[in-house]
Every structure is written in C-alpha cells, then in structure tokens.
C-alpha cells in the first residue's frame, strides 16, 4: 500500500489532534493510501524531539521551508496560529503538494484570498479542518436535509459558547489580532458558519447586522508580568440571510460560564427540525412534523449504528460512543480517500469552500464596524 508522507507544522493542541488522527486512521479504516508521519515542524528544537519520539515522526526540523520543500513530502498539514497559515500553504501549493490547513483558513481575508487563488492554480488538493462536519450526528443532519426531510428551511440558529476566556486567562496568541486575525469570531463563528453552510447546502448572501465586543481589554503577559492590550473580540453576534430564503443567527463567545464547548445548531424547516450540541456529540435531535401533535417532538438519535450512520462501521459496536478525536480521524480518512482520487464519506471543505466561510466572517466584522447590512457580493 502506498504511503502519503505528511509534514505537520505545529505541535501543540491541533498538532496532537492531527498526529493522533494520522496514527489511528490506519488501524480503523481500510484506505487506498495511508498517512506516514514523515516530518514534524516547530519552533522549539527540544520540544520537537520529544514530540517526534512520542508520536512517531521520522524527521523533525525548525525550518518550515526545508520541510515543505522536501521532495518526499506529499501532504503539508498546517496547525499553527492563523498568521502562519498563508506562508506554508503558498509554498506547498507552488510545489504542487497537497495541503490540509486548520481553520479559519487565515487570520485575514487577504491571506485567505491568496491561499484560495494559489489552490486554484496548483495541482495539489486542499482541505480545511472543519472537523465538526465529521461528527456522525452532524453528517447525518447534512444527509437528512439533502434527502429533503426538513423541506424548505426557515431558520438556522447557531451558537458556539465557551467559558475559558475570562480576565484570569493570560495573554495568548489568540488575543493578539496580528496573530489570530480575530477572537471568538474566527475561532468559533468559523465553525458554526461552516456547519450551517454544510448542513443546509445553502449560502449566506447577506449579513443583516452584527455586534462585536471586547469585554476584557487587558491580559497579563506571562513572559513580562505586565498587562498587555487584547486586540481581538471576545464575542461576535450576527444575523444573516440565506440564498434560498432562510434567516440565521450566529453567536460566538468565550465568556459564557457553564458552557464548556457548546457548539450548537438548530435548523427549522417546513417539515421538521434538527438540533445538535457538541457537548452531547453522539446525538442528533430530529423532529418530524408528520409525527403529529399527539406523539410529535424531538427524538434523540444516537448516531453510532453501523450502516445507518456515517463512519460508524469503522468504530465500535452500536452505542459504544465516540469522542472529540474521532472527528479528526474520520477527517484524516476522508483526506486520504480524496488524495487517492476516491470519494470521501462526507464532503470535504477545500480552500475555495473555506474562503466562502471567511467572506461571511469578514461581512460580519464590516457590518459591526459600520452598523449596517452587508451583502456578500460586496466582500470579494
């Protein structure tokens, strides 16, 4: 079986999630090609050695250029802060390599556009880690909408609520606009905008109003002990209109105590509703309006049944539930299938697709700044 040699850039949170996915995927999926952990790239040589040994990377380097241009590397995987997405992506695409990039596609629309344009010209394939698409419950929601079980869609109600970003949280790259681009918005709204577009199969054509707020203005810089200005939003809320007529609301915050990783979406259509909350990720709630008033209401579907639910046959017997890491492993499987020219189990977002999400994020920021509606046509 042919290997797909991976060079992974970034070795912390997402570096671990991706490495775990590449390691596990060959044990659970039958695939036309398998990922091989070829090179790990990071900034700290000492940490790199430990990371390479723990996860099984053959090579390690602090030179992004060296790793990306290595002829043996087939797939460049980018798991660095948002301002370090464009440079390795452009380099890899110019060398005709495949690229998997973390979300948001970039910190700025300009970077994202240059990545989208480079992807269009390259023979390399591109992928963006919108991993929540690959929770079986979310993939089932996508299938039910495609099968017209909801009929015409009226409402999309999406929230991504976390609680770790209070004043006690020190200065991190995530609070620095130059590195992150935005705060909760690019971090969390990126996921729910992608999820809304993915499940509905529809596009947002207008942002009808938005609020952007920074509550915690300064954070402690652990390196110096001094307070530093936080230059990103703590929350962004916006309203949106979809091409086929639905209306949507989106909210992202890291200041919602009691919500740990509440990535939630509800969709209401003429024939029924769907509801998902990542904190309960194995379940999709579905209301079929034809059940009638006597027995109608949301039913809870545990999405673990082989043959019935996406990816389920690759994992455990029915009802032996999945966790966070399985979404990444499911995605690694689909990336391998796509590179081998096969169809992924669930559609994969490429740079073009992620650029559409980035345009929506930008429209919301412009709307908040100018206090007006923004048509997506205005955001190119």
Ligand X SMILES: NC(=O)c1ccc[n+]([C@@H]2O[C@H](COP(=O)([O-])OP(=O)(O)OC[C@H]3O[C@@H](n4cnc5c(N)ncnc54)[C@H](O)[C@@H]3O)[C@@H](O)[C@H]2O)c1
| 9 in contact with ligand X (CB under 6 A) | yes
Cis peptide before 104, with omega less than 30 degrees from 0? yes
| 181 in contact with ligand X (CB under 6 A) | no
Give 59 or 131: the residue with its C-beta nearer to ligand X: 131
| 187 in contact with ligand X (CB under 6 A) | yes
Of residues 245-304, those binding ligand X (CB under 6 A)? none
Give 142 or 268: the residue with its C-beta nearer to ligand X: 142
Report the alpha-carbon distance of residue 2 to residue 47 in Å, rounded.
30
Q: Using CB under 6 A, which of 70, 74, 77, 102 touches ligand X?
A: 102
> Shortest distance, CB of residue 16 to ligand X, whole angstroms?
8
Q: Using CB under 6 A, which of 6, 8, 14, 156 touches ligand X?
A: 14
| 65 in contact with ligand X (CB under 6 A) | no
Q: In whole angstroms, how far apart are CA 33 and each of 40, 250, 335?
A: 20, 38, 10
Give 29 or 129: the residue with its C-beta nearer to ligand X: 129
Candidates 10-18, 109-117, 277-285, 364-372 — which segment interacts with ligand X by CB under 6 A? Answer: 10-18
| 15 in contact with ligand X (CB under 6 A) | yes
Place of tokens 């060959």: 26
Q: Using CB under 6 A, which of 12, 54, 299, 375 touches ligand X?
A: 12
- DSSP for 70-123 reads -TT--EEEE-S-GGGSHHHHHHHHHTT-EEEEPSSS-SSHHHHHHHHHHHHH-S
| 41 in contact with ligand X (CB under 6 A) | yes
Binding residue count for ligand X, defined by CB under 6 A: 21
Of residues 81-100, those binding ligand X (CB under 6 A)? 81-82, 84
Tokens encoding 283: 């379940």
Are the CB atoms for 194 and 354 separated by under 8 Å? yes
Q: How far does Cα 270 stand from its chain's mean position?
A: 29
- Alpha helices (H) along the chain: 13-28, 45-55, 64-69, 86-94, 109-121, 136-146, 177-180, 184, 190-200, 292-295, 324-339, 351-370
| 165 in contact with ligand X (CB under 6 A) | no
- Nearest 5°: phi and psi at 319? 80, 5
Candidates 73-81, 145-153, 201-209, 267-275 — which segment interacts with ligand X by CB under 6 A? Answer: 73-81
Query: Rule CB under 6 A: which residues touch ligand X?
Result: 9-15, 41-43, 64, 79-82, 84, 102-103, 129, 131, 187
């Amino acid at each position: 079986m042919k290997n797909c040699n991976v060079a992974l850039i970034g070795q912390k949170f997402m570096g671990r999630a991706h490495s775990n996915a590449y390691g596990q995927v060959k044990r659970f999926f039958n695939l036309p090609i398998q990922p091989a952990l070829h090179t790990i790239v990071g900034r700290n040589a000492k940490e790199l050695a430990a990371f390479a040994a723990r996860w099984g990377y053959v090579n390690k380097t602090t030179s992004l250029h060296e790793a990306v241009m290595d002829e043996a590397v087939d797939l460049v995987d980018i798991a660095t802060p948002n301002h370090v997405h464009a440079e390795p992506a452009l380099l890899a695409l110019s060398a005709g390599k495949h690229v998997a990039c973390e979300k948001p596609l970039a910190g700025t629309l300009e970077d994202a556009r240059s990545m989208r344009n480079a992807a269009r010209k390259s023979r390399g394939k591109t992928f963006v880690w919108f991993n929540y698409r690959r929770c079986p419950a979310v993939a089932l929601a996508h299938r039910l909408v495609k099968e017209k079980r909801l009929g015409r869609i009226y409402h999309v109600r999406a929230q991504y609520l976390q609680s770790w970003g209070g004043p006690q949280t020190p200065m991190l790259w995530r609070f620095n606009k130059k590195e992150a681009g935005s705060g909760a918005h690019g971090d969390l709204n990126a996921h729910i905008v992608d999820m809304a577009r993915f499940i509905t199969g529809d596009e947002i054509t207008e942002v009808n109003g938005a609020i952007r707020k920074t509550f915690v203005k300064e954070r402690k810089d652990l390196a110096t002990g001094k307070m530093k200005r936080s230059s990103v939003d703590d929350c962004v809320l916006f309203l949106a209109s979809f091409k086929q007529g639905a209306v949507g609301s989106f909210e992202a915050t890291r200041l919602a105590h009691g919500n740990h990783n509440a990535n939630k979406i509800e969709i209401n259509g003429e024939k029924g509703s769907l509801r998902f909350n990542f904190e309960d990720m194995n379940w999709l709630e579905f209301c079929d309006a034809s059940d009638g008033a006597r027995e109608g209401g949301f039913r809870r579907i545990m999405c673990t049944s082989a043959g019935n639910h996406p990816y389920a046959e690759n994992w455990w017997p029915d009802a032996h539930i999945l966790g966070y890491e399985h979404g990444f492993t499911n995605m690694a499987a689909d990336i391998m299938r796509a590179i081998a020219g096969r169809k992924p189990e669930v559609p994969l977002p490429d740079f073009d697709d992620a650029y559409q999400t980035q345009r929506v994020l930008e429209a919301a920021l412009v709307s908040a700044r100018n206090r007006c509606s923004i048509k997506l046509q205005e955001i190119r």
